[in-house]
Structure 1
Amino acid sequence: MKRFALMLLVLPLSATAASVRDDYAQQWPMQLSSADAGAYRVVVSDAVYRAAQSPTLADVAPLNAQGEALPATLLGADAPLALPPQRVSLPVFPLPSRSSGPAGDLRLIAQRDASGAVTRIETQLADAAASTPTQSGGWLLDVSALKTGLQALWLNWQGQPPMQAELRLEGSEDLHTWFVLDPRVSVVELDNGRQRLSQRRIALTAGARYLRLTPVAGAVPALQDVQAEIARVPTPTAWQSVLLEGKAQAPGFEFVSPGRYPVGQVDVVSSGNTAVEWIVQSRDSPEAPWVQRAGPWLVYQVGGAQRSPPKALQVSTRDRYWRLLPSAGRAVGTPRLQLGYQPEVVVFLAQGAPPYALAAGSGRAKRADAPLQPMIAALSQARGAQWQPAPATLAATPQPLAGEAALKPAAVPINWKSLLLWALLIVGAAVVAGFAISLLRGRQPPDGA
């Protein structure tokens, strides 16, 4: 009895000790672009598409160091890759020091080139002879070379001395008329020996061809450099392709895709000059019926350089099996089928200890997509429209996990409840039958019958 109780205790422990990695064939370690971003996105590589078995890519999931599945969702190619803002150094022109008394009239004499960029600047104070310079007069920034995308300024002080000051930010289009962008901008550089507090970024809600920073309160050290933070517009993922070798199979040519690619366009590659109208069909298994995906459309090639463009599919598909049927014209030799696709991205939340990895290939595991898109929309609204989860990259070489064993479907669990009910029904029926037989045997015919 004690041995049986011990087995009951060991079974749950062994079940919980099994890692989710045991359900996957292999995994690719991920390199994070930022250690504390929290949310990341990784592009699905060609190797991952080849390892996946699920027609919905449900057997692709990010895991942490403990082998636990992370909250994740699969996004299409219309969700562009995250790009960090770009920083560009700006031309900075120091303005003359100001006196501690009433501010004089500052006149700027600037020399500009044909594009409007400032090449030389002269400054004059109307009361320069009567004032004693005691404070920096500020800086003039030339941002005329930046057309769009300026969203912040980064100030770099010489030596990064401790300081706390306020600056006035103004803008101008012609160096004559100035308007206030922010009356009091706080900048901080403090250090207590163990921690450092730094506020060097000035967010911009509006722009101008020229900017002017003027000290308002606090001592300001010498400015070494000013960088413009420019938002880079994300671009959709570029098209990639896989070329399939086929075999003649009446009434056309058949091909097998090596992976679960989200095929969005097709093309036919032939040798020499050709002009054939093709119909493209696909299916997910050899037993399934063929489904027409494109055509008939004319595929031509003349002289090697002039050829027809790829044919876009109305609906993308991950089907494994493809077929080409000639509708008009005659194919010379066996053509090759080129499948075009845009790689998708997996967005996930970092939970648990790193390193993180992307696992793929399973006959029994299924990723449950987390509702991350509303979260991304909320964070984009709070942090700016250009915000995206930080990018992560996959290692070139995968790490083996369960291998081919993970590709086998999970064994159907025994429904003990149903078996018990059927057993009770059978036993009950047997008991009723036994009672009936005993009653029939117990009835004796009357005397004289």
Structure 2
Amino acid sequence: MNFILTSVLALALAGQAGAAAPSDTPADYPHSLPLSVSGTGGVVAFRLPQSVYLRAATPDLRDLRLFDKDGNKLAFALQRPPAQARTSRSEMPARIFPVTGARGDAQGDDAGGLDIRTGSDGRLLSVTRAARAGEAPGKAELSSLVLDIGQTDAAVNALRFRLPAGTASYHAQVWLEVSDDLKRWEPIGAAALDWLVNSDTQTLANDRIEFEARRFRYARLSWREGAPLLFAGISAESISQTDIAPHAERLVLQAAPGKVGQDLVYQGAVAIPVEKIGLQFSEPNVVLPSVLGRYHELPGRQLGQPSTLSFEPLVRATFYQITQAGRTRSSGDMAVAPLHNAQWVLRPLNGAGGKPALRLVWSPSSVVFLANGKPPYTLAFGRADAAAAAVELEQVAPGFSQGELQTLEQAQAGPLASRQPDSAAPAVAAGAARAAQLRLAALWAVLLLGVGVLGFFAWRLIKQMNDQDKAP
């Protein structure tokens, strides 16, 4: 019995040892791109072109591999394009209205006794203050400035000052207030303004007052320290950020007859993460309410029954192209959640749309890798049974900021290389499958033999026990 169990265990171990690990070399992938780098950067990026998405065999790009010249695999990470924004700075010249009076008259929550005239659009026309009792005519001095920056929707975050001609050095501490109606003034705070000329006639200037960005139309400037000065110019600065759309790839697919009714079928690629979708019409005027989806083949409910075709709707929209008064308006591209489809099905709802082309739009990912090993490198892809090989970005570019990742050197790709599958590979695979089946059959035979032997010994033991019970 011990001999039988030992034999079973040995066969099992032999079966495990016989199942060799699958090969994973550049020759095992039907498509490849040679990549070259300058050699000056340790971490390099490569934005995946359309050719990779059209030939990759998996939706998550797990069939991508990166090899060096000697065929050694390199670690890499897949990075989605990050969100980017462009910062722009604009200046709006303010109209300046000087106000005379005693120091500190202008500060407060109201108009400070000023006579303010505005136009129907809010434009500031004049700002004056009547002379006070006991004040000699013509002796009033500059006490504050009222500014009108105009009607704008931009948020202002700073004021920039320019000295009048003939003034080189100046120092003051000013108090800034803002208002939208010239009645209630909100204090921003105090700030210092400085212009200093050194011995080399170089001017060191602190000519800006910065504050938290806010929207207002009017500002009031008064002095807490230094002599009041009528500046040659004051500008309001505004900073705005505009989102930058990442690089987008576009693919136009032509229609073919579908399998049901007036359905149209478009052959895409399973690896493309579709983010926008649209139709291109050849007719000048067409409105096409439709549903985009995909087919699913369902097996018969009972043995022998044929399979049925099911339609899964994914996107419902009305696509159109209309020419009116010499101008063409169209539905454009519609944003969708990232979708992966090897085949798209268009089902018209009114049956009158011709055969429009299908336009797919997506943002390609980048391969980020450490340029070690021997260049040139090879990006291989197109093997459906490949296991995922990409690693986390921190394992390739640890400590890199988003700004550094966006400025990485871009590897340069050579021509696409495609090859036919190795004709000997199916025979080798079939031979391996037959060998595995034979090993499995032998293992089951030994197991059944062992069970039979155990049953025989159990029968003998029971028979001996019965014979002993019958003996006198």
Normalising by structure 2, what TM-score?
Answer: 0.50
1:72-107 CA-to-partner distances (Å, cap 9, x unmatched) read 122223378xxxxxxxxxxxxxxxxxxxxxxxxxxx
Q: Note closer, same or farther for the CA distance 1:291–1:378 as it changes in structure 2 (3 Å cut).
A: farther
Map of 1:349 onto structure 2: 370
Q: Describe how 1:140-289 pairs up with structure 2 within 5 A.
A: 176-178=202-204, 236-251=246-261, 252-258=263-269, 260-272=271-283, 273-282=285-294
Report deviation, 1:235.
Answer: 6.4
Structure 1 or 2, whichever has the larger Rg, is: 2
1:100-111 residue pairs with structure 2 within 5 A?
A: none
Query: Distance in 2 between the 1:271 and 1:49 partners?
Result: 27
The match for 1:372 among 390, 393, 399 is 393
Residues 18 and 279 from structure 1, CA distance in 2 versus in 1: closer, same or farther, beyond 3 angstroms?
Answer: closer
Q: d(CA) in 1 for partners of 2:255 and 2:22?
A: 45
Residue among 45, 54, 57 paired with 2:58: 54
1:261 to 1:408, Cα distance in 2 relative to 1, 3 A: farther
Question: Whole-Å Cα distance in 2 between the matches of residues 379 and 408 of structure 1?
Answer: 48
Listed one character per residue, the Cα deviations across residues 384-439 of structure 1 (whole Å, up to 9, x for unaligned) are 65763321122133254856888999877959998887566433321122124445
* Residues 41-65 of structure 1 deviation map (CA, whole Å, 9 limit, x = unaligned): 1121222122211121111222111
The one-letter code of the counterpart of 1:72 is: F
* Alignment match of 1:29 (pick from 16, 20, 34): 34
Letter in 2 for 1:177: T
Residue 316 of structure 1 and its aligned partner are, at CA, apart by: 0.9
Instruction: State the secondary structure of the residue aligned to 2:400.
Output: helix
Structure 2 CA distance, aligned partners of 1:427 and 1:29?
56
Match of 1:305 among 300, 309, 328: 328
Cα distance in 1 between the residues matched to 2:372 and 2:32? 17
Name the counterpart of 1:433: 455
Look up the equivalent residue of 2:281 and give its one-letter code.
S
DSSP-derived class of the 1:41 partner: strand
Q: Do residues 323 (structure 1) and 345 (structure 2) align?
A: yes
Alignment partner of 1:260: what SS?
strand
Matched, 1:394 2:416: no
Aligned partners of 1:28 and 1:358 also within 8 Å: yes
Distance (Å, rounded) in 1 between the aligned partners of 2:427 and 2:79 = 27
Alignment: residue pair count: 285
C-alpha deviation, 1:171, in angstroms: 12
Letter in 1 for 2:391: A
Q: Which residue does the alignment assign to 1:75? A: 79
Match of 1:360 among 366, 372, 381: 381
Percent sequence identity is 24
Check 1:414–1:390 CA distance in 2 against 1; reply closer, same or farther (3 A cut).
farther
- Seen in structure 2, the aligned counterparts of structure 1 residues 387 and 332 have a Cα distance that, compared at 3 Å, is closer
Within the candidate set 316, 320, 338, 2:359 is matched to 338
Q: Give the whole-Å Cα distance in 2 for the aligned partners of 1:398 and 1:171.
A: 66
Distance (Å, rounded) in 2 between the aligned partners of 1:51 and 1:281: 22
- Aligned to 2:450, what secondary structure does the other structure show? helix
Work out whether residues 36 and 375 of structure 2, in 8 Å CA contact, stay in contact via their aligned partners in 1.
no
| Contact 1:244–1:257 (8 Å) recurs in 2 | no
1:364–1:408 CA contact under 8 A, matched in 2: no
Contact 1:363 1:407 in 2 (8 A): no
Once residues 197 and 422 of structure 2 are traced to their aligned partners in structure 1, the CA distance between those partners, rounded to angstroms, is: 63
Q: What's the CA shift for 1:357? A: 1.2
- Letter in structure 1 aligned against 2:287: A
Query: What amino acid sits opposite 2:41 in the alignment?
Result: A
Q: So what's the TM-score if we normalise by structure 1?
A: 0.53
Distance 1:234 1:309 in 2: 19
CA contact (8 A) 1:282 1:322 kept: yes
Matched residue of 1:305: which SS?
strand
The letter for the 1-side match of 2:292 is V
1:351 CA displacement: 2.7
Give the secondary structure class of the aligned counterpart of 1:346.
strand
Aligned CA distance change for structure 1 residues 21 and 418 (closer, same or farther; 3 Å): same
**Residue segments in structure 2 that go unaligned for 5+ positions in a row:** 1-16, 85-195, 207-242, 299-308
Whole-Å separation in 2 of the counterparts to 1:43 and 1:171: 51
User: CA 1:432/1:237 → structure 2, altered by over 3 Å: closer, same or farther?
Assistant: same
Match of 2:69 in 1: 65
Instruction: Name the amino acid aligned to 1:306.
Output: R
SS of the equivalent of 1:42 reads strand
Partner of 2:119: none
| Corresponding residue to 2:46 among 20, 42, 47 | 42
Q: Which residue of 1 aligns with 2:87?
A: none
In structure 2, relative to structure 1, the CA distance for the partners of 1:362 and 1:18 (3 Å cut) is: closer
Alignment CA distance shift 1:22-1:177 (3 Å): same
Find the aligned partners of 1:386 and 1:423 in 2 and give their Cα distance.
Answer: 60
Tell me the C-alpha RMSD between the 2 structures.
4.4
- Gaps in structure 1 of 5+ consecutive residues: 1-11, 81-169, 181-232
Match for 1:323: what amino acid? V
